[in-house]
Amino acid sequence: MRKVKIYLRFFWLPLLLGVVSIIGWFYMPDNFSTFKSTLFGTFLGVGLTIATAEGFKSLTEHKRVKKTFGLLKLVAVPYIKNQAENLQETAKQYNDICSIEQAVSLFVHCAHLDRVATNFDKSWLQLIYSQDFLDSIKNNEHFNKIANAIFEVLLFLKQLSAQSINAQINLQNDLPRLSDDQKNDLIERAKKMRNELVDNAAKLAKYSDKLDEEIMRFLNTNGVNYSEFER
C-alpha cells in the first residue's frame, strides 16, 4: 500500500492522461476528422511521454533523498549521540582527580581521542560529502542549516584532535623525576582537560540534536516520512 501511494504521487498525471486516451479512443465522435484525431493523439502521446519521464525523475530523486537522509537519520545521528554519551561517561570517571596516577590515566585516555575523530570520518563524514547528499538538497535554506550543523560537528573533531595532541605532550614528562609542585601542576592540567572533555561532549550532544532536527525538517518538507525511510 505504501509503494502504491508513492507511485500514485509521482505518476498520477501519466495515469490521468492514459485514462483520457482510453476514453477518447472509445467515445471519440465518428465525424471527428482524421487531422483532429491525429492531433489529439499526438498531443496525448507527447504529454504522456513527458509526464512519465518527469515521474521517473521525481521518483529517482525521492529514492535518493530517502536513502541518503535515511542513513543519516538511522545510522550517523545515533552514532554521534552514542559517542557523546561515551565521552560524558568517561569524564564522570574523572570527577575527582587528586593523584598523579588519575591524571596520567586521563591523559592516556585522551591521547587516543584522535582515533575517535578518525572513526567519525569513516563512519559518516564521507556520507556527508557524497554527491548523492549534495544532489539531494535543493533548498539553499535547508542546505545552509544542515551545513552549519555539520560544520559544528567538524569543529568538535578538531577539538578532539587538539586534546589528543595535548595529552600526548603531557605524557612525555618524566613522571618519577617530577617535583611535588610539578605533579600538582600536572594534576591541574588533567582537571582542565577533563572540563574540556565535559564541555565538548555537551556540545556534541547539542550538535547531534540540531543535525537530527534539520534532517527531519528537510525530510518532512520533501514528503519523506520517518516511517517510510525507516523500512
Q: Return the closest-CA partner of residue 197 out of 55, 99, 84.
A: 84
Q: Give the pLDDT confidence score for residue 228 in this predicted structure.
A: 47
Q: Over range 83-94, report the average pLDDT.
A: 85
Q: Give the pLDDT confidence score for residue 121 in this predicted structure.
A: 61
Summary mean pLDDT of the chain: 76
Whole-number Å distance between alpha carbons of 78 and 123: 11
In a domain, 62, yes or no: no
Query: Does 220 share its domain with 148?
Result: yes
Q: Is 200:160 a contact under the CB 8 Å cutoff?
A: yes
Whole-number Å distance between alpha carbons of 58 and 10: 7
Give the amino acid at 94. Y
The reply to whether the predicted model has a pTM over 0.75 is no
- 113: confidence class by pLDDT, cuts 50, 70, 90: confident
Domain that holds residue 11: 2-57
Q: Give the pLDDT confidence score for residue 231 in this predicted structure.
A: 46
Whole-number Å distance between alpha carbons of 70 and 131: 15
Q: Over range 151-165, report the average pLDDT.
A: 81
229 pLDDT more than 50: no
Query: Does 46 share its domain with 119?
Result: no
Query: Does 207 share its domain with 100?
Result: yes
Q: How many domains does the chain have?
A: 2
Query: Does 78 share its domain with 140?
Result: yes
Query: Does 180 share its domain with 145?
Result: yes
Query: Does 53 share its domain with 102?
Result: no
Cell of 170: 603531557
Q: Residues, the chain, total?
A: 231
* Structure confidence by residue, pLDDT tens digits, 159-213: 888 888 888 888 887 877 888 888 889 889 989 989 988 888 888 888 888 888 8
Query: Does 34 share its domain with 125?
Result: no
Whole-number Å distance between alpha carbons of 204 and 210: 10
- 2: confidence class by pLDDT, cuts 50, 70, 90: low
In a domain, 132, yes or no: yes
Among 90-99, 134-143, 184-193, whose mean pLDDT is lowest? 134-143
Cell of 224: 519523506
Instruction: Calculate the CA dihedral of residues 45, 47, 51, 52 and round it to 10 degrees.
Output: 10
Whole-number Å distance between alpha carbons of 188 and 182: 10
Whole-number Å distance between alpha carbons of 26 and 44: 15
Query: Does 122 share its domain with 178?
Result: yes
Q: Is 153:208 a contact under the CB 8 Å cutoff?
A: yes
Among 12-26, 93-107, 114-128, 173-187, whose mean pLDDT is lowest? 114-128
| Residue 173 Ramachandran class (φ > 0 left, ψ -120 to 50 alpha, else beta) | beta
Query: Does 111 share its domain with 148?
Result: yes
Query: Does 223 share its domain with 120?
Result: yes
| Residue 223 Ramachandran class (φ > 0 left, ψ -120 to 50 alpha, else beta) | left
Q: Is 222:141 a contact under the CB 8 Å cutoff?
A: no
Query: Does 88 share its domain with 189?
Result: yes
Query: Does 22 share its domain with 124?
Result: no
Q: Is 187:98 a contact under the CB 8 Å cutoff?
A: yes
